[in-house]
Chain A
Amino acid sequence: MTAGRTGPVLRYIPFVLLLIAGTLLGIIHDRAARVGKLDPISSLVRTMFAFPATAVSSTTRWFNRELGWIPHGYALEAENRSLRTRISALEMDNANLRNQALLGQRLAADLGIVQSHSPKPVVARVVALLPDPYFETVVINRGSSSGIKVHDVVVTPAGLVGQVYVVNTSTAGVVLLTDQNGMVSARVERGNSRAVGICRGNYTSNIIMNDLSAEADVKAGDRIVTAGYGVFPPGIPIGSVVSVSLDQGQMNKVAIVKPFVHFNALDEVIVLR
């Protein structure tokens, strides 16, 4: 494993060729990414690793399901009781909401309001969760063959996860709401407040909601949902406000929002297409 007796220039030719190959790969990747596609090399790597990663996470999940209750013991009994109480309350809420929905439909029909097309969901499993410390992205095991396209919205029952930014046949890349490139128009969901702002990721577990006017009615504990501008449908839960302050210029308010979704524990997600 030595360089041998080749001259100093020739000795490092493989290194130089690799640098050129890396640069070319980057150019090919960026060109493909601009139209929401993966370059052939990335596509191959993802397809190769998707199956074993799914197998590993399924095995881990099976062990957690079958044996994970053992160390928790009595805590589960208490959790069960509290969950039963919560289910009863939620069932009542559900019945109320169904009545409200029917009423809403009747009113919409009377007023001639055209209902927006509701997206079709596709359930996908996360095969690579935050694979790089610097980018808040995940890879899911559904791609264009399942009808997934760039800009499709990704959610869990808890709330908004992010948006599809790149797709190949069998996988898709999702940029999370916590990434610095993640951005969504959002509003406060409280009776008399309809304050609207922009939620952006900033590498931390919380999200920054800015572009709120200085008079915006927003306070700690407020629930934040998608505003419905752009690709995100309205009303998807994002998180709750932790704190509110004025920005550096004292012109706008900035809210710190704790997301409802636990991004480090994503397992299955729903893609709205």
Chain B
Amino acid sequence: MTPYTRRLLTIVGAFVVAALFQMTAASNLLVFGAQVDLPLCAAIVGSMLCDVNTASAVGFASGVLTASLAAPPVSGFGSIVVSRTIVCFLIGWLEARIVRDSALLAPLFGVLGTVSCAVMFFAFDPQKDTSHWTIVLVGSSLYNGVVAIPLFYIMRRIAGRDESTALA
């Protein structure tokens, strides 16, 4: 198995587990009312482990998965998919050019990636209640930032380090 295939399989596996966990247990693991968004977290961490185009595909897959399961009641399906594709593309781009496989950045990307996705979604598809939306966003992004740390170590351990780019 090539390192690329191994990484891809790790990301796909992480997606399946994240989606099942999100569907069955995430709403019972609230911290101060905040809920984790595991498929997004898996996409952000997955994007840190692959090249820019694969990262876009990871974001796209995460968006389709979340939007299909949550299916916003009015509109917003495309906004979820596009915002996640762009964010994961940017993370993949940063990983390829600037930051290179650094575990320290997992929580930062977890927080900023979640915020960027939500802000882009809001720009594409403005919501009625901005104040509550902001509260949900703050809680969810911090939660994702914390969850990104162990998730990064687990996924990198299974996927193997990309020796060509690793610095950390």
Which residues does chain B contribute within 8 Å of A22, judged by CB atoms? 60, 63-64, 78, 81-82, 85
Whether A128 and B30, one on each chain, are in contact in the complex, defined by CB atoms closer than 8 angstroms, is no
Known contacts A22-B82, A29-B78, A30-B75, A132 near B66 by CB under 8 Å: yes
B28 to chain A, nearest CB (A): 6
Known contacts A46-B69, A137-B71, A60 near B24 by CB under 8 Å: yes
Whether A18 and B57, one on each chain, are in contact in the complex, defined by CB atoms closer than 8 angstroms, is yes
The answer to whether the Cβ of A251 comes within 8 Å of any Cβ in the partner chain is no
Whether A26 and B51, one on each chain, are in contact in the complex, defined by CB atoms closer than 8 angstroms, is no
B33 to chain A, nearest CB (A): 8
Whether A181 and B79, one on each chain, are in contact in the complex, defined by CB atoms closer than 8 angstroms, is no
Which residues does chain B contribute within 8 Å of A133, judged by CB atoms? 34-37, 136, 139-140
Known contacts A2-B51, A18-B60, A42 near B68 by CB under 8 Å: yes
Q: How far is the CA of A163 from the CA of B76 in the complex (A)?
A: 19
Residue of B nearest to A34 (CB): B75
The answer to whether the Cβ of B96 comes within 8 Å of any Cβ in the partner chain is yes
Task: Pick the contact of A131: B28, B70, B129, B162 (CB < 8 A).
Answer: B70
A201 to chain B, nearest CB (A): 9
The answer to whether the Cβ of B116 comes within 8 Å of any Cβ in the partner chain is no
Which residues does chain B contribute within 8 Å of A33, judged by CB atoms? 71, 74-75, 77
Whether B64 and A41, one on each chain, are in contact in the complex, defined by CB atoms closer than 8 angstroms, is yes
Whether A179 and B73, one on each chain, are in contact in the complex, defined by CB atoms closer than 8 angstroms, is yes
Residue of A nearest to B143 (CB): A133
Task: Bits for B33-45, please: 1 = Cβ < 8 Å to A, else 0.
Answer: 0111100000000
Which residues does chain A contribute within 8 Å of B25, judged by CB atoms? 60
**24 pairs from A and B in contact (CB 8 Å cutoff):** A1-B51, A1-B54, A12-B53, A14-B53, A14-B56, A14-B57, A18-B59, A22-B60, A24-B78, A29-B78, A41-B68, A45-B69, A46-B68, A53-B20, A53-B23, A57-B24, A130-B35, A132-B72, A134-B136, A135-B73, A137-B72, A180-B128, A264-B27, A264-B30
Residues of B within 8 A of A (CB): 3-4, 7, 19-20, 22-28, 30, 34-37, 50-54, 56-57, 59-60, 63-79, 81-82, 85-86, 89, 96, 118, 121, 127-129, 132-133, 135-137, 139-140, 162, 164
Apart from A1-B54, A3-B96, A130-B35: 17 A-B pairs, beta carbons within 8 A: A1-B164, A18-B57, A22-B60, A25-B81, A29-B78, A39-B77, A41-B68, A49-B20, A56-B23, A60-B25, A129-B24, A131-B66, A137-B72, A139-B69, A173-B71, A203-B129, A203-B132
